[in-house]
Structure 1
Amino acid sequence: MMGKRNQPHRSENITVTLEQLVPADHLVRKVDQVMDSQFIYPLVEKLYCENNGGPSVDSVLLIKMALLQYLFGIPSMRKTIQEIETNVAYRWFLGLGLDEKVPHFSTFGKNYVRRFQDTTIFEDIFYKILTQGVDAGFVDPVVLFIDSTHVKANANKLKYKKKHVRRAARFYHDELEQEINDDREAHGKKAFYPQEEGRE
């Protein structure tokens, strides 16, 4: 006999937590176990006004959104935000409830420009996170590609690792800035061009 399934569960109300919905062996759980994101707050604290304006989007949330894009090879931040809206594992990683709104791309872009323009802070944060991944064995610096080409090896393995990770962080940073600039220009806004000081 052929079975036929109807769709009664689409509107079913159940009690469940994000913790229950994310598989124990999911990559976001493994990253969460070794990633210490608390170092971000003191690094960005000086970029915020202490006594003016309302609360901003959490800086760790912004960085983790970028990390999801990088980890899962999502082609753009706009697409990443769309994926976060429906992916419970991504929401768990970000600490967003099922009923919480994911920051819009324009919100992400505005916060990125206001906080990180003319600084290397985003790149520095991303470098430290990638370094944590390398140290935990999740990322092999030997296979980090920069614009589809390998970075030449160096006899000093520590320097070699740092060079690979630093260049990977910078490459991602530049791609993200380009996407934000493209969006700004598409909406009639002036693109920003960060300073190059402090880069290797």
Structure 2
Amino acid sequence: MMGEQKSEPQLFNYAVNLEQRVRANHPLRAVKAAIDFGIVREEVAHCYGDNGNVSIDPVVILKMMFLLFFDDVSSERELMKIIAERLDYLWFLGYSLDDVIPHPSG
């Protein structure tokens, strides 16, 4: 079953706005503005069933694969470790500080 990323209510209020933490001229801002990653949902919808576990949002998966090549990350497993530490990655993927990052085996 195809999942769609949704923001969960935050447990704590850190007063951290990722939008403000990513500099205005960051390269990922240009990428995010130029590419409509949302189109991937329509393209892959037929690949998902109506029952079973909910998947990671295909948009997030595509963005993660983009980051692998964009920053020359050595592996998906390494990327998962880096995502939690990089505010620019969290912002690009649409995650907050409280969101659970997908596990590489999931």
Q: TM-score, normalised by structure 1?
A: 0.45
The aligned residue for residue 57 of structure 2 is: 58
**1:84 equivalent in alignment to 2:83:** yes
Q: How does 1:11-160 map to 2 (within 5 A)?
A: 14-50=14-50, 52-107=51-106
**After TM superposition, which residue ranges in structure 1, 4 or more long, deviate above 4 angstroms?**
none
The alignment yields a C-alpha RMSD, in angstroms, of 1.3
**Which structure is larger by alpha-carbon Rg, 1 or 2?**
1
Instruction: State the shift of 1:14 in Å.
Output: 4.8
* 2:41 alignment partner AA: Y
Matched residue type, 1:69: L
Matched-pair identity in %:
36
Instruction: Tell me what 2:10 maps to.
Output: none
| Alpha-carbon shift at residue 15 of structure 1 (Å) | 1.4
The secondary structure found in structure 1 opposite 2:37 is coil
* Letter of the 1:49 counterpart: G
CA distance in 2, matches of 1:14, 1:74: 29
Partner SS state of residue 53, structure 1: coil
Structure with the higher fraction of residues in helix conformation: 1
Provide structure 1 residue ranges, at least 5 long, that are not aligned to the other structure. Answer: 1-12, 108-200
Question: CA 1:55–1:21 in structure 2 vs 1: closer, same or farther (change >3 Å)?
Answer: same
Q: Distance in 1 between matches of 2:74 and 2:36?
A: 25
Give the structure-2-normalised TM-score. Answer: 0.83
Distance 1:15 1:45, change over 3 A: same
SS at match of 2:105: helix
Greater RCO (Cα-Cα under 8 Å, separation 6 or more) = 2
CA–CA distance in structure 2, aligned partners of residues 101 and 35 of structure 1: 25
SS at match of 2:84: helix
